[in-house]
Amino acid sequence: MVKVVDMGDYIIEMLNITKKFPGVVANDNITLKLKRGEIHALLGENGAGKSTLMSVLFGLYQPDSGEIRKNGQVVKINNPNDANALGIGMVHQHFKLVEIFTVLENIILGVEPSKMGFIQKNEARKKVMELSEKYGLRVDPDAYIEDITVGMQQRVEILKMLYRDNEILIFDEPTAVLTPQEIRELLQIMKGFAREGKSILFITHKLNEIMEVADRCTVLRKGKLIGTVNVKDTTKEELSRMMVGRDISFSVNKKEKKPGKVVLSVRNLNVVSKIHGKNVVKNVSFDVRAGEIVCIAGIDGNGQTEIVNAITGLEKPTSGKIMLNGHDITRASIRERSIRGMSHIPEDRHKHGLVLDYKLEENLVLQRYWQPEFQNRGFIKFDSVRKYAEKLIEKFDIRSGQGPVTIVRSMSGGNQQKAIIAREIDKDHDLLIAVQPTRGLDIGAIEYVHKQLVERRDAGKAVLLVSLELDEVMDISDRILVIYGGEIVGELNPKTTTMEELGLYMSGAKRDVVKEINDAGEE
């Protein structure tokens, strides 16, 4: 069912692009045509070849065959500088900013206006402020990147493109790191660009966003072009079918389940931030029972990360008590917590979850390599490791180029996350802590993660979920704890509450007197 809508004036044409990597054809004869002034979504699961295709356009990879045309002329893009010269700019999923430079310095990096070797910052500042005002991209030009929010960092990346007078803007999963409010704002800004006549390529797997802003959508699956459709003639269901190749259930099937005994209990927890020395978790108390999914919901940066770090042992709490299965683990080592039955799917899978330069099999035993099953007098039993890895790869459907010996860095984000989930779920545990487990994943993988979490709950495990996605919070949790400013401001039942009410709690507009509930429940 290849549908192609083809007419009008194209600013960029990528014709029959093929790009192979060892063991995989990342782009197989793909054609993508971008009209002037349109927002063109590029949809596909992780590993479908979206990023490769955009890297070809941006000059990071050379295609094995096929050609790129701009305004009908064949062009050769050997590196990002060539792309820049052609007016192509890109906001990468992982921002490329110098942390210790200011916003202004980052924007002009590489194209600094100078006189006799001296940077003319005032000139640059004027241009940046003009752009910032014109498009509503609020930034503080003198703030350092390491001090500003992710949303503002993204605005800096966008300003970088505008400062270079780019007319073709590539956004690689721009909303993955943003809060709902920031997403709304970004989509408005993108619409503004399109009205100005700029052409936008929007890589995403969030169907709602495509329906909201995109004019046309090109769908890739497993390196192949599935089709290009007009967004106003299609539906979410059709797009997801094109993307995944089968029907996707948007809601989670969950049986009724009565919670059992208390597995994790947190009392009067206070954590002082390592970064700015302020108290970011204030007197937080809650319980998680066996067979329930408790979700901590809130806007990013309200203390969720610190609560989890204190529970998992990555950060020391200043006061309070954490009990796991009746044992006080407030000061226990990370290894002890793990042995006592804690599994942890970390927020940042690249920073904490994986050793990217290790093989897949080495990563799959990261929590267990020291156990008798995998070692003999200090020597690792590599044959057991291999067997175990093969078992997990099979069971959890982890896909990679070379199986157990694949270097994890070369795997797609979704499969990296699957590897972490496989490792943490297969390990003996009573409590599973999952922090934004679906961040940056596509629909197929999100469905998979949700299924696994619910399965854990049904298997009688306690699950603590931290999430910024409201849909996810409402769909899979049994209880919602809303956090605002480091305090739990409300406990909600997803069956009886609404998105709007949840939003009010999350933004701090509404709060319950939760402390008394906790004190009453403590005896």
* Binding footprint of other proteins on the chain (CB under 8 A): 22, 312, 314, 333-338, 344, 346, 351-358, 362, 366-367, 369-370, 375, 378-380, 382
- Residue number, 270 or 375, with CB nearest to other proteins: 375
Return the structure tokens found at 523: 């005896």
- 417: part of which helix (H) or strand (E)? helix 413-426
CB of 99 to other proteins, least distance (A): 16
CB of 354 to other proteins, least distance (A): 6
Contact 37, 199 (CB under 8 A): yes
Three-state SS string over 45-105 comes to CCCCCHHHHHHHHCCCCCCCEEEEEECCEEECCCCHHHHHHCCEEEECCCCCCCCCCEHHH
- Residue number, 259 or 313, with CB nearest to other proteins: 313
- Residue number, 22 or 117, with CB nearest to other proteins: 22
CB of 288 to other proteins, least distance (A): 20
CB of 348 to other proteins, least distance (A): 8
With 0-12 / 13-18 / 19 or more C-beta atoms within 10 angstroms meaning exposed / middle / buried, residue 324 is buried
Pick from 2, 29, 4, 36: which is nearest to 14 by CA? 29
- Residue number, 343 or 415, with CB nearest to other proteins: 343
Contact 284, 466 (CB under 8 A): no
CB of 381 to other proteins, least distance (A): 10
- Residue number, 277 or 378, with CB nearest to other proteins: 378
CA distance 169 to 88: 6
Three-state SS string over 454-487 comes to HHHHHCCCEEEEEECCHHHHHHHCCEEEEEECCE
Contact 173, 93 (CB under 8 A): yes
CB of 349 to other proteins, least distance (A): 9
- Residue number, 24 or 356, with CB nearest to other proteins: 356
Using alpha carbons only, how large is the chain's radius of gyration in Å? 24
DSSP state string for 118-153? EE-HHHHHHHHHHHHHHHT----TTSBGGGS-HHHH
Q: Characterize the bridge pairing of strands 199-204 and 168-172.
A: parallel
CB of 431 to other proteins, least distance (A): 15
Torsion of CA 437, 442, 447, 450, to 10 degrees: 10
- Residue number, 250 or 369, with CB nearest to other proteins: 369
CA distance 379 to 317: 36
Q: Give the relative orientation of helices 236-244 and 443-458 as an angle to the nearest 10 degrees.
A: 90
CB atoms under 10 Å from CB of 468, counted, come to 22
- Residue number, 189 or 407, with CB nearest to other proteins: 407
- 392: part of which helix (H) or strand (E)? helix 382-396
CB of 272 to other proteins, least distance (A): 18
Contact 447, 474 (CB under 8 A): no
CB of 368 to other proteins, least distance (A): 9
- Residue number, 209 or 424, with CB nearest to other proteins: 424
Amino acid found at 152: M
- Residue number, 143 or 380, with CB nearest to other proteins: 380
- Residue number, 200 or 389, with CB nearest to other proteins: 389
CB of 468 to other proteins, least distance (A): 21
Pick from 523, 454, 13, 457: which is nearest to 218 by CA? 13
Amino acid found at 138: R
CB of 353 to other proteins, least distance (A): 7
